[in-house]
Amino acid sequence: MSWSKLKQQLEGFLSPALNGRVEYRAPGYRYLPDKSGICYISVDKKNVLNMSDKTNAIRWYQTELEIKNDPDIQIPITSDDIEAVRQATKGPVPEERLIVRARSRKSTEHAKELMSAQAALTKSNFIVVANKFLTTPIEESLESKDMVLNILALVDRRVGKKRILSMSEMMQLKHPVVQYFYELRRGK
């Protein structure tokens, strides 16, 4: 599918509140037909997400430790997480220590997921991901680990305001770029 046709379809799915504010761009280079070029998503004429550049306005993590020490990331711990740690320790451990271990384990898993999602995004071919978005159900795109699919789903008109508001806990575990588009859609 040509870029202009793909762009037209993606912008046709934009939420009415974001229509005209969010724009998909992929400037092509006439003399490099075999190169994918750069792709980016702009909001209010500012490049917010550039697929090939880590110097965005959105925070990019360089190490897992940065993610674990980021005070903005709140990782919810369930009783199942605490029970899993209790089973792994095989001995009497104070409840407070179990909570600390469960939080540490979960933050390590979360950090690894974020780092792999960032790496996938910088290597991502936006056109391939956008075509995948157009052919998969919106629920799969929202729950995907692919940040571009998450973003495309969040700005989609098929995701209603009630659903957006009910996703706040899930969004806490997403990359800051996904959180940015979530807040944009929420209207804050």
pLDDT digit string (tens) for 71-80? 777 778 888 9
With a CB cutoff of 8 Å and minimum separation 6, the contacts of 49 are 40, 41, 56, 58, 151, 177
Tokens (6 digits) for 74: 């709140």
Matching residue, tokens 């391939």: 128
CB-based burial label for 133 (10 Å; 0-12, 13-18, 19+):
buried
| Domain residue ranges in the chain | 3-62+122-186, 64-115
Q: What is the reported pTM?
A: 0.67
The closest alpha carbon to 39, from 29, 53, 25, belongs to 25
CA distance 16 to 116: 32
| 167 phi and psi angles, rounded to 5 deg | -95, 5
Chain segment 125-155, per-residue pLDDT in tens: 677 888 899 999 999 999 888 888 899 999 9
* Residue 155: per-residue pLDDT: 93
Query: What tens-digit pLDDT sequence spans the chain (188 residues)?
Result: 777 888 889 999 999 988 889 988 776 544 444 454 566 788 888 877 766 555 555 556 677 777 777 777 777 888 898 888 888 888 788 888 888 888 888 888 877 777 776 665 554 567 788 889 999 999 999 988 888 889 999 999 999 989 999 998 888 888 788 888 999 998 85
Q: Does residue 185 contact residue 18 with C-beta atoms inside 8 Å?
A: yes
pLDDT of residue 31: 47
